[in-house]
Amino acid sequence: MSGLGEAFAAAWALIAGVEPGLVGIVTLSLQVSLSAVLIASAIALPLGAAIAVGRFPGRQALIVLLNALMGLPPVVVGLLVYLLLSRAGPLGSLGILFTPSAMVVAQTVLVVPIIAALSRQVIEDAWREYDEQLRSLGASRPSAALTLIWDTRFSLVTIVLAGFGRAAAEVGAVMIVGGNIDGVTRVMTTAIALETSKGDLPLALGLGIVLLSLVLLLNALAALIRELATRRYG
């Protein structure tokens, strides 16, 4: 019990003292996960919208696949990206294995299905409401898809944040493709795993608190945006 209390106190001291090591780890985590979510959104939102308004053979199968991929285990993604990026792999010539870029790739792969599947659902629901009106005004399907992305933007923010939560919280993929190299590819989750196994609980706990606070802060922000937007735009 006292061990836990001490760990908390020490963790707090680390956070309050703005320990440079800790700051580096937090900054890298944010850089990697934000980049991944940005790239994933650029791919997944148009993809989700296209599937939502599109009519093509195999659509239902694609939706099932996408929904299933939301539960993709991070270690499996890590392994696949590792194989892709390793020296002998098809993208080995890029030479980005064990760099933050590789971690961005892995997290992007992990997050694309989540954002695509959830945005497909939201946009398809909106499409049901807008369908006749937009077609009556002469909108083509691609232009209707863009209109729907814009009109569901406040719901999509929540989805993108869910993607960020997933990216920032996973260990397996970044551990495999990043290698948890101190000062280079060590992020919050891999550091927590390592420090815990080494027995340095204050640092692990401090990072845990920072991680939780960041996710909480972002979600509070999203809720606020949504609330204000609904009040303003209906």
Partner 1 sequence: MLPLELRDLRFSAGGHPIIRGISARLEAGPRSIILGPNGAGKSVLMRLCHGLLRPSGGEVIWHGAKGGDPRRRQAMVFQRPVMLRRSALANVIYGLKLAGHSPQECELRAQDVLEVVGLAQQASRPARVLSGGEQQRLALARAWALGPDVLFLDEPTANLDPAVTHEIESLINMIHAAGTKIIMTTHNLGQVRRLGDEVLFIDRGLLREQSPMERFFTRPASSEAETFIRGELP
To the nearest whole angstrom, how small is the minimum distance from the Cβ of residue 224 to partner 1? 18
Provide the token pair at 139: 């909108």
Binding site for partner 1 (CB under 8 A): 129-130, 132-139, 143, 147, 150-151, 153, 232-234
Q: Is residue 203 a contact partner of residue 22, using CB atoms and an 8 Å limit?
A: yes
Could you tell me the sign of the dihedral formed by the alpha carbons of 63, 45, 143, 155, in that order? positive
* Residue 112: strand, helix, or coil: helix
Task: Report the residue number, 136 or 197, with the smaller CB distance to partner 1.
Answer: 136
Measured from the CB atom, the residue of 37 and 126 that comes closer to partner 1 is 126
State both tokens at 116. Answer: 């695509």
The DSSP annotation for 130-142 comes to HHHHHHHTT--HH
Distance CA 89, CA 95 (A): 10
* Residue number, 25 or 156, with CB nearest to partner 1: 156
Closest to partner 1 by CB, 153 or 198: 153
Place of tokens 């985590």: 29
Measured from the CB atom, is 102 or 144 closer to partner 1? 144
Q: Please report how close the Cβ of residue 130 comes to partner 1 at its closest, in angstroms.
A: 5
User: Least distance to partner 1 from the beta carbon of 139, Å?
Assistant: 6
Q: Tell me which residue of 4, 1, 3 sits closest to 209, measured CA to CA.
A: 4
Minimum distance of partner 1 from residue 155's CB (angstroms): 11
In the complex, the smallest distance separating the C-beta of residue 142 from partner 1, rounded to whole angstroms, is 12
